[in-house]
Amino acid sequence: MTELRDDIKRTIEQEDVVLFMKGTPERVLCGNSMRALEALRTVGSPVTAVDVLPDPSIRQELSALSNWPTIPQVFVRGELVGGADIVQELAETGELREKLESTLGADYAASRGEKVVPMGSPSAFRLAQ
């Protein structure tokens, strides 16, 4: 397993809620990433975000681990919940709140906050911009 794959796996396993997205919560660069983030915010979820854009390998390794080809991807305590459509629908039906309560505990919103975990190395393309 590569070091990057180990980092991705460790983040998924150690963080309560992980959002692999295009951009960061402060600078979202994709409509679907924004929808997933807003769904998590709506239910008061803590969010650990990983920007997949700085290094194309992040996306490749993540998809190999999750068997899910698209970004964004949301994980709750190591379990893939889904992408933007699924997470948004779960938030609208109340199932996302239920999932967070059953997995993280009824007081999960007390740890509400957003952080970014840097991962990978910036590609030459991104450095040239």
Query: What is the four-CA torsion angle of 9, 105, 36, 68, rounded to 10 degrees?
Result: 40
Choice between 112 and 1, residue whose per-residue pLDDT is larger: 112
Length reported for the chain: 129
pLDDT at 127: 43
Token pair in block for residue 105: 């505990």
Choice between 120 and 45, residue whose per-residue pLDDT is larger: 45
Residue 123 has pLDDT above 90, yes or no: no
Identify the three-state secondary structure at position 28.
Answer: strand
Asked if 59 and 9 touch (Cβ cutoff 8 Å), the reply is no
Asked if 90 and 80 touch (Cβ cutoff 8 Å), the reply is no
What is the CATH code for 3-128?
3.40.30.10
Using one digit for the tens of pLDDT, what is the confidence trace for 50-95? Answer: 999 999 999 999 999 999 999 999 999 999 999 999 999 999 999 9
Closest CA to 91 of 33, 37, 28: 37
What is the percent of the chain with per-residue pLDDT over 90, rounded to a whole number? 88
How far apart CA 127 and CA 40 sit, in angstroms, is: 31
How would residue 1 be classed by pLDDT, with cut points 50, 70 and 90?
Answer: low
pLDDT at 121: 73
Using one digit for the tens of pLDDT, what is the confidence trace for 98-116? Answer: 999 999 999 998 888 999 9
Local structure of residue 4 (DSSP, 8 states): H
Predicted TM-score (pTM) of the model is: 0.92
